[in-house]
């Protein structure tokens, strides 16, 4: 089984960390290929960055048409719907995966993300996925994504502080880490919190693997049907859809 894990930003150190987390979660014999585009934003923090990250995500998917499943390793699930239209393989976003698994472990969960500008996109996705009622609150630790790659930053302390507040003030009984760059913190934070702490990378890897084992593929009936053939102009000409 081959799972393609795409980090839609261009930060290779984060991709390596994400890939290691996915490999640790995967069953023996599952091949994890972690990649990132060489064009686009170095981090995805809000709607503007998302818009410029989708093309890179799709470009990486096009290089691996034989993947049995794809994991979109951005917590905002950047480009998830477009990715599902681009392949028959199951495509799992780390945000959606973590939300669903958290809802199986606790009646209410809180999300601890990076910056406040990411709160609205995450809340939007919770409504879209039908899980808004299960989320007690989306909190921001006010940590820039790239600070998670800097060992000298106080990112971990800020995240820990928000987890403590979420469990004490929100009525949350589980925590979802709201950034792929937090993946290496999950187990340590869980031990300190005394409650489930879910990492979206591991969650999505396990769900993607399960879908493949069940022989399930993305529905092509309507919404995620292959895009209609047409010629794109300018810088996007190389992304022009061709007849299936």
pLDDT given at position 155 = 87
3-state secondary structure of 89: coil
101 Cβ contact partners less than 8 Å away, ≥ 6 residues apart: 198, 203, 207
Which parts of the chain sit beneath pLDDT 70? 243-244
The predicted structure's pLDDT at residue 39: 97
**208 and 165 housed in the same domain:** no
Separation CA 212–CA 1 (nearest Å): 8
| Residues 190 and 122 both lie in one domain | yes
Q: Residue 231: inside a domain, yes or no?
A: yes
pLDDT of residue 244: 63
Closest by CA to 114, choosing from 79, 77, 131, 139, is 139
> Does residue 244 sit within a domain?
no
Residues 130 and 185 grouped into a single domain: yes
Number of separate domains in the chain: 2
pLDDT of residue 62: 97
Please report, for the domain that includes residue 157, its CATH number. 3.40.50.12500
One domain for residues 23 and 117: no
Mark whether 210 and 90 lie in a shared domain. yes
Q: How many residues does the chain have?
A: 244
Q: Cα(219)–Cα(49) distance, rounded to whole angstroms?
A: 28
Whether 189 and 108 share a structural domain: yes
* pLDDT number for residue 145: 87
Parent domain of 122 = 96-199
């Amino acid at each position: 089984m081959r799972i393609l894990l795409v980090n839609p930003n261009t930060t290779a150190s984060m991709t390596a960390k994400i890939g290691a987390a996915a490999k640790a979660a995967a069953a023996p014999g599952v091949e994890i290929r972690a990649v990132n585009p060489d064009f686009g934003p170095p981090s995805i923090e809000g709607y503007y960055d998302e818009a410029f990250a989708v093309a890179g995500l799709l470009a990486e998917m096009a290089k691996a048409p034989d993947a049995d499943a794809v994991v979109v390793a951005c917590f905002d699930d950047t480009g998830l719907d477009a990715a599902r239209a681009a392949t028959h393989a199951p495509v799992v976003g780390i945000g959606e995966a973590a939300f669903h698994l958290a809802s199986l472990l606790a009646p209410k969960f809180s999300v601890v993300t990076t910056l406040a500008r990411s709160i609205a996109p995450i809340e939007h996705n919770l409504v879209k996925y039908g899980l808004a009622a299960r989320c007690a609150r989306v909190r921001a630790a006010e940590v820039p994504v790239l600070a998670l790659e800097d060992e000298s930053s106080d990112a971990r302390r800020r995240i820990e502080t928000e987890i403590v507040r979420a469990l004490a003030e929100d009525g949350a009984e589980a925590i979802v880490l709201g950034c792929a760059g937090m993946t290496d913190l999950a187990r340590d934070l869980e031990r300190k919190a005394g409650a489930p702490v879910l990492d979206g990378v591991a969650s999505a890897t396990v769900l993607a693997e399960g879908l493949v084992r069940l022989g399930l593929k993305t529905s092509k009936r309507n919404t995620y049907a292959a895009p209609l053939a047409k010629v794109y102009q300018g810088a996007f000409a190389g992304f022009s859809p061709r007849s299936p």
